Amino acid sequence: MRPAREHATNTGQTYMITSATWERRPLFRNERWARLLIDTLYHYRESVYLLHEFVIMPDHFHVLLTPKRSLEKAVQFIKGGFSYRAKKELGSNLEVWQKGFSDHRMRDAGDYLRHVDYIRQNPVRKNLCERAGEYPYCSAGAGIELDPVPQGLKPTLVDGSYGTPEGAPFQSSRSDAAETAPFQSKAPSSVEKAPFQNKSGKIAS
């Protein structure tokens, strides 16, 4: 039985969030798009949330974060901020995101570790790479700067192993407010539009 849904507005809690592209278009197969989303994640880090892990898949993303305001506001800044920059810096008028997002609150250290592993291994499971650290759009890579594990969720690591979850549970789905967020962007660059194939795909489970 699925746990009861929560209204995820409390700060200080850590969540895994997932959001998909409009009609599951694989927009983030394009390197410029993927790297712009990563840059957007880091732009709001510290001011809006703490960033613990992330992976940018071709048609969706997973992020493990601790919001400093509300979870809904954190996701609004990520998605709205990226949409704003995609229009200004990539010259795109495409609809970027599906409405809403899925979230799961971390219960304890074991739950946290399972979701870290889920995020890192997602590209491997989808045959995008052989090892998690080889995927360029994931926090598993070397030299990626992340915020530390929240104090209450710090696990006892054994041989650096995180274990492999059978699947990451998502508790609730929410609709974002506006798809825009204030963002002071750099001067727009002349970048070509990202090609996409209009096909659908499911978020990895």
Could you read off the pLDDT of 87-97 as tens digits, one per residue?
999 999 999 99
The whole-number pLDDT of residue 90 equals: 96
Mean residue pLDDT across the chain: 80
The whole-number average pLDDT for the span 6-22 is 80
Residue 175 has pLDDT above 80, yes or no: no
Q: DSSP label at 132?
A: G
CATH class of this structure's domain 15-155+167-174: alpha beta
Q: Which band of pLDDT confidence, cut at 50, 70 and 90, is reported for residue 155?
A: confident
CA 23 to chain centre: 17
The model's pTM is 0.75
State the Rg of the chain over Cα. Answer: 16
The whole-number average pLDDT for the span 25-30 is 97
The whole-number pLDDT of residue 12 equals: 85
Question: Can you give the residue ranges of every domain in the chain?
Answer: 15-155+167-174
The whole-number pLDDT of residue 17 equals: 98
Residue 62 has pLDDT above 90, yes or no: yes
Residue 196 has pLDDT above 50, yes or no: no
Residue 2 has pLDDT above 70, yes or no: no
Q: Which band of pLDDT confidence, cut at 50, 70 and 90, is reported for residue 10?
A: low
Residue 163 has pLDDT above 70, yes or no: no
The whole-number pLDDT of residue 189 equals: 38
Higher pLDDT, 204 or 42: 42
Q: Which band of pLDDT confidence, cut at 50, 70 and 90, is reported for residue 57?
A: very high
Residue 61 has pLDDT above 50, yes or no: yes
Residue 166 has pLDDT above 60, yes or no: no
18 neighbors 61 (Cβ within 8 angstroms): yes
Higher pLDDT, 201 or 157: 157
